[in-house]
Amino acid sequence: MPEYGYFLSCEEFGPADLVEQARMAEQAGFQALWISDHYHPWNDAQGQSPFVWSVIGALSEAVSLPIETAVTCPTVRMHPAVVAQAAATAAVMTDGRFRLGVGSGEALNEHILGDVWPPANVRLEMLEEAVQVMRRLFTGEEVSHYGTHYKVENARLYTVPDEPVPIDISGFGPKATSLASRVGDGYITMMPEEPMVEQFRKGGGGAKLVSGGTKVCYGADREEAVRTVHRLWSNQLLPGEMGQILPTPSHFEQLEPLITEEMVGENTVCGDDVDEHVAALTAFADAGFDRVYVNQIGPDQRGFFDFYRTKVLPRLQ
């Protein structure tokens, strides 16, 4: 039976709200936390984007749950040597309860310094090299590295956890999943697709941690919940590579007319039907996931946590 965690959205909430949601999640019976790592929200309606490493520092004092970034891009906006220092410190502050989730990123966050946004195959090469650099730094030894994409000279992390920080790799297609199976300590994806889990496990992932996540919108009025999702998160239904290549929130807003409320209602669990919420999470369990994270869209966070504490999590357990 998988563990069930809560997915904190840095795109939609500021630091104080995220810390309070983490407390409510622990009290409700969730067993772990994911937290997104963005420079921009997907659209202005979401309206937030705090620096994730500052928030993780606060979370380390507020809750005792495991914490993981879902996901950090350690390749363009931040050099992997800097991400390694941030992750090592987070692991020390959480007494080893931190995992670093990484992915190849989105132009939305990574192009802000004016760097070229590489094609997908190059981004995966950069990610693999970044993981190598970070793993060497987690040893606490001095590292010099002269690679294809990164240079590191005489770098040493002095604040490191007792055990190296686990690095889980996000993958939504065969190439990224193959990378995760070869070099990851775990695998992250956002759809309950059993073939991808099988590819990860058979490709070298074995029994390593497989984690997935989904978004819902709890509320007594299902139609209002659908409208809330449509206003805040219609971007999650955009097809293809748009999520990786569009550079600003305004570009995502320009595409919102492509996503209808009917599409949202068909693809997102909205309302207060316990069976629908249970089924959405059980789909991940049936596909072989070890941890499943759920995010509540919109302002009714307390209602969501009460609903899951009393009705949904007991059914899952």
Token pair belonging to 258: 């492509």
Q: What is the pLDDT of residues 50-87, one digit of tens each?
A: 999 999 999 999 999 999 999 999 999 999 999 999 99
Query: Which amino acid is located at 306 in the chain?
Result: D
In the predicted model, what is the mean pLDDT of residues 158-169?
Answer: 98
Question: Percent of the chain at pLDDT above 70?
Answer: 100
In the predicted model, what is the mean pLDDT of residues 139-148?
Answer: 98
Q: What is the pLDDT of residues 231-289, one digit of tens each?
A: 999 999 999 999 999 999 999 999 999 999 999 999 999 999 999 999 999 999 999 99
Task: Tell me what pLDDT residue 228 has.
Answer: 98
In the predicted model, what is the mean pLDDT of residues 137-165?
Answer: 98
8 Å CB contact between 60 and 96 = no
Q: Indicate which residues carry an active-site annotation.
A: 38, 106
161: pLDDT strictly greater than 90: yes
What is the reported pTM?
0.98
224: pLDDT strictly greater than 90: yes
191: pLDDT strictly greater than 90: yes
Q: Is 296 exposed, middle or buried (0-12, 13-18, 19+ CB in 10 A)?
A: buried
250-256 long-range contacts, Cβ below 8 Å, gap at least 24?
A: 250/44, 252/42, 252/43, 252/108, 253/43, 253/44, 256/43
Task: Tell me what pLDDT residue 317 has.
Answer: 86
In the predicted model, what is the mean pLDDT of residues 188-200?
Answer: 97
Question: Percent of the chain at pLDDT above 90?
Answer: 99
**Mean pLDDT taken over the chain:** 98
